[in-house]
Amino acid sequence: MTYTLVTAWLLLVAAASPAQEYDKDSALTISQAAIGTRLDNYRLRDAHGQAFDLDQFRGRPLVVSMIYTSCHHVCPMITRNLVDNVDVAREALGDDAFSVVTIGFDWKVDSPERMRQFAVQQGAAGLPNWRFLAADATTIDALGENLGFLFYPSAKGFDHLAQTTIVDRNGVIYRQLYGVDITTQALVEPLKELVFDTPRSAGLVEHWVSTFKLFCTVYDPNSDRYRFDYSIFMTIAVGLLCLGAIATFIIREWRNAR
């Protein structure tokens, strides 16, 4: 309810000031207000023109990026940066650990064919679990509002936040990322939290394995990659050996004292 009221108020303010339709601070407020809300199901079309429902992504985390294909600078940079970071994330978490979707919000231009061409141009065509989708005006407006993503026509094309949204496996918006060159950690860390967040109800062994993976999968700034840090196990093992040695010493001294 609060999110709806904030959105409505800011949209009314924007409508009352046509000379300044896009305000970055207001757009950021709306974007942040979307966190914690549920992403509804929408019917879109994939790069082959086939119907595709967003509900098909349920069950694992989802990365959502909204772009327009006639953009010559910002949107291609956002997508190429995402390609690089997704590659690192898949290496660390697994190819099937999460999904990615890029949606064209300029519904007049961003047809399935244009989305297919855009994917090829940005080096994302054929990547696993990554869809490039198009939709009609009504769907785009509803989806943009749901994601907290506002866009306005301008002389240069569109004004909008450089926004990447992370959605959890249940369809709840978990994190908003901003910028054309988001860092590797900015994308991978929230995905790592979601991927390895295995509830105890799934099984005690699976829960503890996921917990170890969460803490032992660490970022290496030198290579800008993630690796599994075995030193943590070594530290635990050494600690247990030390405790065992201390316990043995105490027991031996206690027996000698008797």
- The domain locations on the chain are 2-182, 196-258
pLDDT band per the 50, 70, 90 thresholds, residue 256: confident
Four-way CATH pick for 2-182: 3.40.50.2300, 3.40.50.2000, 1.25.40.10, 3.40.30.10: 3.40.30.10
Q: What is the pLDDT of residue 56?
A: 95
Q: What is the mean pLDDT of the chain?
A: 83
pLDDT digits (tens, 9 = 90+) for 127-181: 999 999 999 999 999 999 999 999 999 988 999 999 999 999 999 999 999 999 9
pLDDT at residue 184 is higher than 60: yes
Q: What is the pLDDT of residue 250?
A: 80
Q: What is the pLDDT of residue 247?
A: 75
pLDDT digits (tens, 9 = 90+) for 91-134: 989 889 999 999 999 999 999 999 999 999 999 999 999 999 99
**Of residues 85, 81, 121, 119, the one with CA closest to residue 101:** 119
Q: What is the pLDDT of residue 204?
A: 45
The model's pTM: 0.75
pLDDT at residue 220 is higher than 80: no
Tell me what the mean pLDDT of segment 184-197 comes to: 91
pLDDT band per the 50, 70, 90 thresholds, residue 6: very low
pLDDT band per the 50, 70, 90 thresholds, residue 221: confident
pLDDT digits (tens, 9 = 90+) for 191-215: 999 998 754 444 444 444 545 555 5
Q: How many CB atoms lie within 10 A of CB 23?
A: 16
Q: What is the pLDDT of residue 213?
A: 58
Q: Which has more pLDDT, 7 or 116?
A: 116
Long-range contacts from 165-169, C-beta under 8 angstroms, 24+ separation:
165/34, 165/63, 165/64, 165/65, 166/61, 166/62, 166/63, 166/64, 166/190, 166/191, 166/194, 167/39, 167/57, 167/61, 167/62, 167/63, 167/64, 168/61, 168/194, 169/58, 169/59, 169/60, 169/61, 169/194
